[in-house]
Amino acid sequence: MAVSLIAVDYSRPIQQIFLQEPRTGTVHSIFNKAANITFDGTMLALLSDELPRMPNSVRLRSDATDKLFLNLKPGMEVYIGNDELVIPTCNYSFHLAQTPLWEPRPDVNSYSWNRETVEQHTRLLTQFLAKKQHQDGLAPLVGPLFLEQPHQETPLSRMAMPNLRLLAQASWQQNIAGIEEATRGLAGLGPGLTPSGDDVLGGFAAIMALLSIQLSTDSRSRNHIASKIAAVAKPRTTMLSGILLEFASRGEVSEQLGTLLLTLMLPAEEIETVLNAANHVLAFGASSGEDTLLGILLGLRALEGKIN
């Protein structure tokens, strides 16, 4: 018997997909609480409502996803359109009618931003990340980049370090050739569906897209830098990373990342709230959260013009 569900919520950027006439998509990958579906060159994330929202997500009740994901297999056909998604092989469908829409772009313009306060939060977040026991990835470079700490070189760090510095310096100077060179060096760097270099680029691009006007000491918009990063990185990395970088270049980010960015405008004494939000970012993936936070810190330092 066919099972028909109602989604818990969905992200605003994917609404257009569901408003079209039905088209065919394909199950790309399945995890414990999430599944990815490719569709017309983009990727839709089906998530359990136990997970934070993503800029490309539809969330379903956890009891539904627990059963559904057991039956999904890569390559299965999926039909999307007319306000529903249908998986014929599993006899599943769900609808978006009357489903709450979630906006993945934090409303940064509704708040008052103080550069000195954000700089204080940035310094404390830098120390916070440096003290963590890191998984594999680029986050261990936070100490050498910002705190003049020594580090044990690895093949990954040797490739990444000069490009991280170049990305920040070129973004401050609005040197497009330098930004392109740094992005080429970081895109696809590391293993996984979202390699470490891409996670750093995503955090960095989100800062450029959302906070460059509010926080750069020259008060100049750097939105175009975020777009350039996404365009250069996309053909050099995984499909999922390329799509998430496109979202980040428009300031459309995951729920936990958006929450962290908004806490940066809080008074300096609210650092525990900021650190709590940072911990939620770090909980994402094996090393993706740490690498994304490194990208955020790199972006914030670039807007200060304080990269050596």
**pLDDT reported for residue 134:** 66
- Could you tell me if 178 and 212 lie in one domain? yes
- Could you tell me if 67 and 81 lie in one domain? yes
pLDDT above 90 covers a percentage of the chain that reads: 74
**pLDDT reported for residue 135:** 64
Among residues 73, 102, 131, which one ends one of the domains? 102
- Could you tell me if 120 and 14 lie in one domain? no
**pLDDT reported for residue 5:** 79
User: What is the CATH number for 87?
Assistant: 2.40.50
Average pLDDT of every residue of the chain: 92
- Could you tell me if 89 and 141 lie in one domain? no
Q: What is the pLDDT of residues 51-69, one digit of tens each?
A: 999 999 999 999 988 888 9
Q: What is the pLDDT of residues 220-230, one digit of tens each?
A: 889 899 999 99
- Could you tell me if 63 and 116 lie in one domain? no
- Could you tell me if 95 and 215 lie in one domain? no
* For residue 155, pLDDT beyond 80: yes
**pLDDT reported for residue 247:** 97
Q: What is the pLDDT of residues 77-123, one digit of tens each?
A: 999 999 999 999 988 888 887 889 999 999 999 989 999 999 999 99
Sequence-distant (6+) residues with CB within 8 A of 166 are 178, 181, 182, 185
Sign, Cα dihedral of 49, 50, 52, 54: negative
**pLDDT reported for residue 1:** 47
172 or 306: which carries more pLDDT confidence? 172
- Could you tell me if 135 and 221 lie in one domain? yes
- Could you tell me if 96 and 204 lie in one domain? no
The count of structural domains within the chain is 2
201 or 193: which carries more pLDDT confidence? 201
Structural domain range at position 16: 3-102
* For residue 216, pLDDT beyond 50: yes
- Could you tell me if 132 and 56 lie in one domain? no
* For residue 189, pLDDT beyond 70: yes
Per the CB < 8 A criterion, the answer to whether 278 and 259 are in contact is no
* For residue 219, pLDDT beyond 80: no
Provide the phi-psi class of 305: left if phi over 0, else alpha when psi is between -120 and 50, else beta: left
pLDDT above 70 covers a percentage of the chain that reads: 98
**How many Cα atoms are found within 13 Å in the side-chain-facing hemisphere of 293?**
35
